[in-house]
């Protein structure tokens, strides 16, 4: 949800400066990013410490005070029992994870769990995310004007925002596996059709069909792979290795993202590999 919100705000800012001809058309969007720093700084000053952190540090009274500050007046009598539950949970987790290492993630059935967690996160990259999240540049390469491209990108981020909210309800109705496989299959089909359409550059309507399919791809991603990819690694890992499995899975994601970020600009750039699909 945070990703979708940030992308929507960013697309709106860029759209507002599309008609500005001077250097400030790109300087101001970069400068606006600094607006968040004062708000975050103030929030950090007044933000209470995590009660879970305080429990792990043995500061139980401070944890209770923090919990009370986060509760309504009618709920404050439940602060002490809640902290006691945190202490009990922390003791259980410490006993479970004691003596484990990252090497355990590659042994026995935990190896299978680690593989599923890593592939689930990597799938958020290999499904075509780098291509789709460079949609504005793709729209321009497809023949749309800058104004049309940025408007479509703004609409796409709005679709992603709404679809992410809808995904909360979908995950309550359908299994993770069903959503993940369905989403990956549909997105592969959308990308295949987009590529096939690029072989015909004579009809002016083709570019609009491709652009519409890009938005449909983004809708599918935000309904399925996007949110579900975050839940699978945490749920598929064993309790005693959960944190380590998630770390390995997320690290795999970032490694794949580095590779994708490097090669993706070459794919669509007409001065590089120029993989635009036209004959």
Mean pLDDT for back-to-back runs of 10 residues, the chain (279 residues)? 73 76 84 86 85 90 90 87 91 80 90 94 87 69 71 79 89 92 93 82 77 87 90 87 91 92 81 63
pLDDT score at 279: 34
pLDDT score at 206: 80
Q: How far apart are CA 133 and CA 250, in angstroms?
A: 19
Q: How far apart are CA 45 and CA 64, in angstroms?
A: 19
Q: Judging by beta carbons within 10 Å of its beta carbon (0-12, 13-18, 19+), is residue 14 exposed, middle or buried?
A: middle
Question: Could you give phi then psi for residue 8, rounded to 5 degrees?
Answer: -65, -45
pLDDT score at 251: 94
Residues 6+ apart with CB under 8 A from 181: none
pLDDT score at 132: 63
Q: Which residue has the tokens 């909360």?
A: 168
- Number of helices (H), then strands (E), belonging to the chain: the values are 14, 0
pLDDT score at 278: 45
The closest of 45, 67, 68 to 55, measured between CA atoms, is: 67
pLDDT score at 133: 65
Q: Judging by beta carbons within 10 Å of its beta carbon (0-12, 13-18, 19+), is residue 205 exposed, middle or buried?
A: exposed
């Amino acid at each position: 949800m945070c990703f979708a919100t940030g992308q929507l705000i960013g697309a709106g800012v860029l759209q507002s400066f599309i008609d500005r001809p001077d250097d400030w058309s790109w300087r101001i969007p970069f400068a606006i990013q600094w607006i968040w720093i004062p708000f975050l700084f103030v929030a950090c000053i007044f933000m209470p410490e995590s009660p879970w952190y305080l429990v792990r540090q043995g500061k139980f009274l401070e944890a209770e005070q923090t919990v009370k500050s986060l509760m309504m007046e009618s709920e404050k009598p439940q602060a002490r029992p809640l902290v006691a539950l945190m202490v009990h949970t922390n003791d259980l987790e410490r006993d479970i994870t004691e003596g484990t290492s990252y090497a355990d993630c590659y042994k026995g059935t935990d190896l299978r769990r680690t593989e599923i967690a890593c592939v689930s996160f990597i799938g958020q990259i290999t499904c075509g995310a780098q291509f789709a999240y460079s949609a504005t540049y793709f729209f321009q390469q497809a023949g749309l004007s800058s104004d049309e491209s940025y408007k479509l990108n703004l609409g796409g981020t709005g679709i992603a925002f709404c679809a992410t909210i809808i995904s909360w309800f979908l995950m309550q109705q359908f299994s993770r596996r069903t959503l993940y496989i369905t989403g990956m299959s549909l997105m592969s089909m959308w990308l295949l059709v987009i590529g096939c359409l690029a072989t015909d550059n004579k009809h002016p309507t083709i570019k609009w069909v491709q652009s519409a399919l890009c938005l449909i791809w983004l809708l599918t991603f935000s309904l399925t792979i996007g949110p579900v990819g975050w839940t699978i690694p945490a749920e598929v890992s064993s309790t005693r290795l959960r944190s380590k499995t998630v770390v390995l899975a997320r690290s795999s994601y970032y490694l794949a993202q580095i590779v994708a970020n490097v090669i993706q600009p070459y794919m669509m750039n007409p001065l590089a590999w120029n993989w635009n699909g036209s004959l």
